[in-house]
Structure 1
Amino acid sequence: MTIKQKLLLLFSVLLIVYGCGKKDKSKEEKIEAAVPVKVTQAKTGNIYETISLAGDAYGQEETNIYSKVPGKLLKKLKSEGDLVKEGETIALVERDEEAMEFASAEVRSPIDGIVTQYFVGLGEYVFPSQSMSTKPIAMVSNTDNVIVEVYASEKDMGRIRKGQSSKVTADVYGDRGFRGKVAEVDTAADPSTRKTKIKISVPNKEHYLKSGMFVRAEIIVGGRNGVLLVPSSAIVKKLDKESVFVIEDDRAKEMTVVTGTTDGEKTEIKNGLKINQRVIYEGNFGLLDGTKVEMKK
């Protein structure tokens, strides 16, 4: 075989190898991985705008109970958390008068309620309320209704009104809500905090809410009915534009939208989307228009 023939043979082999490589490469380029996403349909519904505030719950009627005579706390007839009736004895006080024998003084509750707290222990001295020491023996709270006290900032005060509905939650009960209404709005803000006290009345017949419990209140200050809604996580914000990704032909399509009221979980879509369109609400972070996607459960 001559040198020329050898060169031709080598050139032919190189062409075959190059062609096979190019073919394989084109096959690889055709393989496109789909991005897994979660999808829901855009639906009409009602949405409420709320102001969320934290505060404390108290019995609608609470009273501190004092001994009528000076002496030592002899016995607690009721424990903290016990129900009591008006006039029922909750404790006994040993009278503090030397060389004289008296029956123990009874300490009675002036209201129906629950013994929420004792302020003194057995053997400690107690005194009538008008004496120098004003430390009470116990507190009794009527928690058939509770008052939730929260404080609103200046920017929120213009939207809060007496009679507005509210949802109250406590960490111990998870997402369970207790419905109430704004009962009082102070006419002036605290000059030191610039915040205004709001009182929310909440029915509490089963006594789930306790006096002194930390709670959160969502006051409904506005709402819209029969509007198009999507999960708030579906909204993608880019500079001054808001958009959502919908699915068309197994690909993500970016749609510019105009949003309205939001409650944190749901957002109103005023323009840019139609009812029942499939909207991506998970897996949309960093997604590009035209990306192949697959729905996951």
Structure 2
Amino acid sequence: MNSVHANAMVMNFGKKVVLAMMVVVTLVSCGKEGQQAGQGEAQALPVTVVELQPATVPISAEAVAQTEGAREVEIRPRVGGILLKRLYEEGAPVKEGQVLFQIDPEPYQIALEQAKAQLAQAQAKVAQTKREAERLKGLLESNSISHREYDNAVSDDDVAKASLLQAQATVREAELNLSYTKVTAPVSGISGRFQFSEGALVSANESLLTTVVQLSPIWVRFSLSDNDIQQLGGPVTEKTVKKITLKLPDGSEYNEAGKLNFAASQIDPALGTQQLRATFANADKKLLPGQFVRAKVVVGEREGVFLVPQSAVMNSQQGRFVYVVDENNHAVVRPVVTGDWIGRDWVILNGLNAGEKVVVDNLIKIRPGAPLQPHPPAEEAALPQGGQQKSAANISRTLA
């Protein structure tokens, strides 16, 4: 919407609102003629006002989001056997490499000893064939044996060496299988429920023992609608996003900003949204997987706007409006174009000017042109602009 068009809409809307409110006031006055007889001019109504100053606000969009572990690992045994012990507390933090389960090691210890015995045999065989080949080599040089006999001795030595390599590999495999009887956490995180009782038979690579979810960092998944994307100036990318903040379920702001680490390259045709994902360090482990939060994407700043308390903005059939105080201390209806909320403030994009005074309380008692007695917020109750105490907040007036 360009500024000329927006201003035209605001002016047209203003005329309609004033006319409608004058009709309402006239009807009310007619109904109360008897009560008003003999009374003098209406006294000025005391009202609290805030003086507008231009502000710079972030260009942003919010969406419902859900947290998930950056790594969610299923813990399965790499060897089968009887599950002897569980060595962790369910739901407790675990560290990478920490032993979680102990599988009966005895069968694998026996297999290792057998492999070592085969290795010793292979080593002895290699020593024997080496000596035999060296002995026959001397006889060959004195022409006491044929080349064939010597070649057979060399081949026997090569076969023995190959058997030795195989025996060494068997020992390493047996050692590895024995080490696998201690099931460890592949990542640091929060442990899950115990799925098998002690004494149960578990299968290699199949039985799900538990899960470990990495909390630091943690990911946050969310999506922005096509309208949100247009308000931000186009599709969201890692280059366009300045920062991402979170609002927790209790309404508080999370104390660290995140970074976008995934942005879909197209709009989902079924949902009309762009899928996004951000990463947060979550060093304090305050965020847990599965939480619903609100993600705020900031892509830049908008200058020259005004922040007005939500309590000061009212609704009519023609749109939103506020009351401002003119130079004669009379109430004037001012249609406004609103943007997003920031805290307890509306961002006003059009309809107001710097230095104007906006009424923030006693709104239900005001009519267009009514005399007012404006005063700033009381010092003891004054809050930053947009943080005024509740007065006639959330008043919604429907005009004919």
Q: TM-score, normalised by structure 2?
A: 0.55
Given the superposition, is the C-alpha separation of residues 283 and 120 from structure 1 closer, same or farther in structure 2, using an over 3 Å criterion? farther
Please, which of 183, 189, 192 is the counterpart of residue 107 of structure 1? 183
Whole-angstrom CA distance in 2 between matches of 1:241 and 1:190: 32
Whole-angstrom CA distance in 2 between matches of 1:189 and 1:268: 30
Cα shift at 1:187: 2.2
> In structure 2, what is the equivalent of residue 141 of structure 1?
213
Q: Note the alpha carbon deviations across 1:114-168, whole angstroms, 9 max, x for none.
A: 2242251424654333x4x5xx222223322211011333444444222412111
Given the superposition, is the C-alpha separation of residues 251 and 105 from structure 1 closer, same or farther in structure 2, using an over 3 Å criterion? same
Cα shift at 1:90: 1.9
Who wins on radius of gyration, i.e. which is larger?
2
Amino acid in the other structure paired with 1:84: V
Q: Residue 79 of structure 2 aligns to a residue in which SS? A: coil
Q: Residue 187 of structure 1 aligns to a residue in which SS? A: coil
Contact 2:77–2:204 (8 Å) recurs in 1: yes
Whole-angstrom CA distance in 2 between matches of 1:155 and 1:249: 40
Please, which of 200, 220, 229 is the counterpart of residue 278 of structure 2? 200
Q: Note the alpha carbon deviations across 1:97-125, whole angstroms, 9 max, x for none.
A: 8xx999993210112x2224225142465
- 1:259 equivalent to 2:337? Answer yes
Given the superposition, is the C-alpha separation of residues 121 and 69 from structure 1 closer, same or farther in structure 2, using an over 3 Å criterion? same
Segment of structure 1 superposing worse, 70-79 or 41-50: 70-79
- 1:268 equivalent to 2:351? Answer no
Cα shift at 1:251: 5.4
Please, which of 119, 127, 140 is the counterpart of residue 203 of structure 2? 127
Aligned 1:1-297 pairs, distance under 5 A: 26=38, 29-30=39-40, 32=42, 37-71=47-81, 73-94=83-104, 105-111=181-187, 113-118=188-193, 120-123=195-198, 126-129=202-205, 131=206, 136-157=208-229, 158-163=234-239, 164=241, 165-172=243-250, 174-177=251-254, 178-190=256-268, 192-240=270-318, 242-247=320-325, 252-259=330-337, 261-263=339-341, 265-275=345-355, 277-285=356-364, 287-292=366-371
Contact 2:190–2:215 (8 Å) recurs in 1: no
Whole-angstrom CA distance in 2 between matches of 1:72 and 1:273: 78
Q: Note the alpha carbon deviations across 1:44-85, whole angstroms, 9 max, x for none.
A: 222123222222212323322111233455433222443333
Whole-angstrom CA distance in 2 between matches of 1:175 and 1:240: 34
Contact 1:47–1:268 (8 Å) recurs in 2: no
Structure 2 unaligned residues grouped into runs of 5+: 1-33, 112-177, 382-400
Contact 2:312–2:361 (8 Å) recurs in 1: yes
Whole-angstrom CA distance in 2 between matches of 1:283 and 1:224: 31
Q: CA RMSD in A?
A: 3.8
Contact 2:338–2:346 (8 Å) recurs in 1: no
Amino acid in the other structure paired with 1:107: V
> In structure 1, what is the equivalent of residue 125 of structure 2?
none
Segment of structure 1 superposing worse, 56-65 or 32-41: 32-41
Cα shift at 1:87: 1.4
> In structure 2, what is the equivalent of residue 10 of structure 1?
none
Whole-angstrom CA distance in 1 between matches of 2:272 and 2:312: 36
- In terms of fraction of residues, the more helix-rich structure is 2
- In terms of fraction of residues, the more strand-rich structure is 1
> In structure 1, what is the equivalent of residue 160 of structure 2?
none
> In structure 2, what is the equivalent of residue 3 of structure 1?
none
Q: Percent identity?
A: 21
Given the superposition, is the C-alpha separation of residues 214 and 260 from structure 1 closer, same or farther in structure 2, using an over 3 Å criterion? closer
Whole-angstrom CA distance in 2 between matches of 1:225 and 1:80: 52
Contact 2:93–2:191 (8 Å) recurs in 1: no
Whole-angstrom CA distance in 2 between matches of 1:122 and 1:36: 73
Structure 1 unaligned residues grouped into runs of 5+: 1-21
Contact 2:91–2:193 (8 Å) recurs in 1: no
Cα shift at 1:249: 8.2
Whole-angstrom CA distance in 1 between matches of 2:369 and 2:46: 14
Whole-angstrom CA distance in 1 between matches of 2:363 and 2:59: 25
